Amino acid sequence: MIAALLLSVDFNNFKYTHDPCSSNVPVPVVMQNGGFSYTDPHDQSVGFDLHVDRVVEGSLSPRTRHAIVIIECQLPAGEGGMAAAYLYAEHGNTAVYVDTVGEAEWGPDWGEGQETIHVRFTDKFLYVDRCNEVFHCLDDNVYVVTTYALRNGKIVKVYEETHKRAAP
């Protein structure tokens, strides 16, 4: 158990090259204790706060470790936010970005946040359940479950299915 902890990637203290608001945050995101803040150098009143919402670890084939990291980006002045689910392949105490497998966007009076992205690893598959339309999650209430697998060292979609979200 201790060896597993020593070889584990600390995604709360990690340098990310992909983030959900990369068009506004043009620098690598270096998370410290799960958070990162960026202020626009041209307009000091515009700031973006990013944080690791959650990490889900699993495996897609024998002797491999993978993780989904969901990062949330809060836009300035309560304008809403964006989130994305990133798949990483773990190698000892480092990880390599593989792909973006889910996204969400919301505003102060529309859409839903990172909680609309659900992920799980099961039987060497990755299941990602997310809103069908990034911008209109509340409007159509349709979700897509995408099943991914590792084939010849690459992540591939093997199945996709739409469903209506159950009433709360």
Per-residue pLDDT tens for 92-103?
889 999 999 999
Residue pair 65/90 in contact by the 8 Å Cβ criterion? yes
Show the tokens assigned to 99. Answer: 């792909």
Which tens digit of pLDDT belongs to each residue from 74-114? 988 778 899 999 999 999 889 999 999 999 888 877 777 77
| Predicted model pTM | 0.89
> pLDDT-based confidence at 142, cuts 50/70/90?
confident
On average, the pLDDT of the chain sits at: 86
Query: For residue 79, what are the contacts with CB-CB under 8 A and spacing of at least 6?
Result: 107, 108
**Environment class of 164 (CB within 10 Å of its CB; exposed 0-12, middle 13-18, buried 19+):** exposed
Provide the phi-psi class of 123: left if phi over 0, else alpha when psi is between -120 and 50, else beta: left
Say how far apart CA 137 and CA 103 lie, in whole Å: 11
- Mean pLDDT in residue range 28-32: 96
